[in-house]
């Protein structure tokens, strides 16, 4: 599973669950990145400090068996097609390092990337918010998936298996699609992306409805079909987030307990213990807080309720909590954790402020950090406001946005400190003519490939960016 950002912690959002080293964001911000942050062009540190109408109907059950091409089809209306390449509004440059995967006059939704960066999935949406999902590979180019209104919620590590979420209408269910043979099969699980997670063995965990209308935690496998794991004592599936790990024997989730409560209840399911609500070692998380687990679920980064408007950024590991930092407003900003749980990265808002769009009014009061036990908390752009967006699985690379004039993307490593990404690309002779790179949404496990949205000439673009050496 790729390192990806998502907004499944927002009550109005529906995006994919997290995986190892994942960062989740509070909103999809379209921040222009024109590289005019002069202070970030040289390193900022010397590197020595350390480093998406809800139905109460039960969806039809998937057949649970191997599916051949065309075994499952969805016809939800006209395909929201991207224009052909020769009619694209994109007029920016393409290079081996920076590729526009799709351009148009509308907008794109959720992106995913495979572990090696060779498969990218994304959605293209029209003004009515109807979306067409696509996948891209070097061999096939851009290919429309057999759902005409939906999104790709999840992508397997090897880039072959996709979980597609059709728009949630009566009878809709999440679909598993395989790129290698074009097969698709229904799962019987509710299609809302925030309720779904994909495990390493290809099983899909999510929610379904009983004939009595109760919410159930369930798991689908290709060989066994749909298996109900537990009844959930929560009435509204939209208020439930299922948090993914690569191990389908460990399932985490959060129940939104209401707008006026300081925190939300955590639940955990394992075969040995069954369903635990508010387990003693991690009963609640702060409102809007992300849960970013390692791939095996042995550790996670999250926020706990603090005093007043404060939230505590913590690491949970082996039942023990380590306090990392205190932040304000419970914004649910990105939090990342390395695959082994030893590195965290996030952002701290130092004052109780109501941030506007694009963080206006807060830019000078937010700071990106990286933490290890050895170094403690290290500020990534001293003297310049910034926020963390992505953390690599090995914890060595942080991708963020800095605010000194126009927002600018940066990369950070302990050896080089913070570097302006646009300046790095220009130094690698990447032609950026016509490009504005907005916030990336996913980082491949190899820490080399970023995917995100941007502006390309007069159009909106989905990009695939290979980081320079």
Average pLDDT, the chain: 80
Q: What are the tens digits of pLDDT across the range 141-171?
A: 999 998 878 899 999 999 999 999 997 665 6
- pLDDT tens readout for residues 21-63: 333 322 222 222 222 222 222 222 222 222 222 332 333 333 3
Asked whether 303 and 327 are in contact (CB, 8 A), the reply is yes
List Cβ neighbours of 139 (8 Å cut-off, separation of 6 or more): none
Q: What is the 3-state secondary structure (H, E, C) of 222-246?
A: CCCEEEEEEEECCCCHHHEEEECCC
As a whole number, mean pLDDT of residues 410-439 equals 94
Whole-number percent of the chain with pLDDT over 90: 52
Q: What is the pTM of this model?
A: 0.81
Of the candidates 347, 467, 355, the residue with the CA atom closest to the CA atom of residue 413: 467
Residue 425 three-state SS: helix
d(CA 150, CA 134): 10
Show the domains of the chain with their CATH numbers.
3-466 (2.130.10.120)
């Amino acid at each position: 599973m790729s390192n990806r950002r998502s907004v499944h912690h927002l009550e109005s959002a529906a995006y994919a669950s997290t995986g190892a080293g994942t960062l989740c964001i509070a909103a999809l911000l379209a921040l222009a990145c024109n590289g005019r942050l002069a202070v970030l062009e040289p390193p900022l540190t010397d590197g020595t400090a350390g480093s998406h109408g809800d139905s109460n109907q039960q969806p039809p059950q998937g057949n649970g068996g191997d599916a051949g091409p065309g075994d499952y089809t969805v016809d939800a209306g006209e395909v929201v097609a991207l224009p052909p390449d020769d009619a694209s509004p994109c007029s920016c440059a393409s290079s081996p390092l920076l590729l526009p995967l799709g351009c148009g006059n509308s907008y794109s939704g959720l992106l995913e990337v495979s572990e090696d960066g060779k498969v990218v999935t994304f959605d293209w949406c029209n003004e009515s918010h109807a979306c067409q999902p696509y996948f891209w590979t070097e061999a096939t180019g851009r290919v429309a998936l057999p759902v005409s209104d939906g999104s790709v919620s999840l992508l397997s590590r090897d880039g072959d298996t996709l979980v597609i979420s059709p728009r949630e209408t009566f009878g809709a269910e999440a679909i598993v699609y395989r790129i290698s043979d074009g097969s698709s099969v229904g799962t019987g699980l509710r299609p809302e992306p925030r309720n779904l997670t994909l495990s390493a063995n290809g099983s899909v965990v999510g929610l379904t409805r009983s004939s009595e209308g109760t919410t159930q935690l369930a798991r689908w496998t290709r060989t066994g079909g749909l298996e109900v794991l537990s009844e959930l004592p929560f009435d509204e599936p939209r208020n439930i987030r299922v948090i993914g790990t690569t191990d389908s024997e460990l399932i985490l989730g959060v129940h939104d307990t209401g707008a006026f409560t300081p925190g939300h209840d955590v639940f955990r399911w394992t075969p040995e213990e069954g369903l635990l609500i508010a387990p003693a070692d991690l009963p609640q998380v702060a409102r809007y807080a992300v849960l970013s687990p390692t791939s095996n679920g042995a550790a996670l980064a999250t926020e706990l309720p603090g005093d007043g408007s404060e939230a505590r950024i913590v690491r949970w590991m082996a039942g023990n909590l380590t306090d990392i930092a205190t932040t304000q407003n419970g914004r649910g900003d990105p939090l990342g954790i390395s695959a082994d749980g030893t590195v965290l990265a996030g952002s701290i808002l130092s004052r109780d402020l109501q941030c506007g769009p694009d963080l206006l009014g807060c830019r000078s009061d937010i700071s990106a950090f990286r933490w290890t036990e050895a170094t403690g908390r290290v500020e990534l752009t001293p003297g310049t406001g910034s926020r963390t967006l992505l953390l690599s699985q090995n914890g060595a690379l942080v991708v963020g946005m800095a605010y000194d004039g126009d927002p600018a993307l940066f990369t950070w490593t302990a050896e080089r400190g913070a570097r302006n990404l646009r300046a790095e690309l220009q130094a690698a002779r990447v032609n950026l003519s016509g490009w504005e790179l907005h916030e990336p949404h996913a980082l491949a496990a190899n820490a080399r490939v970023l995917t995100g949205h941007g502006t390309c000439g007069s159009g909106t673009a989905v990009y695939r960016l290979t980081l320079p050496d």
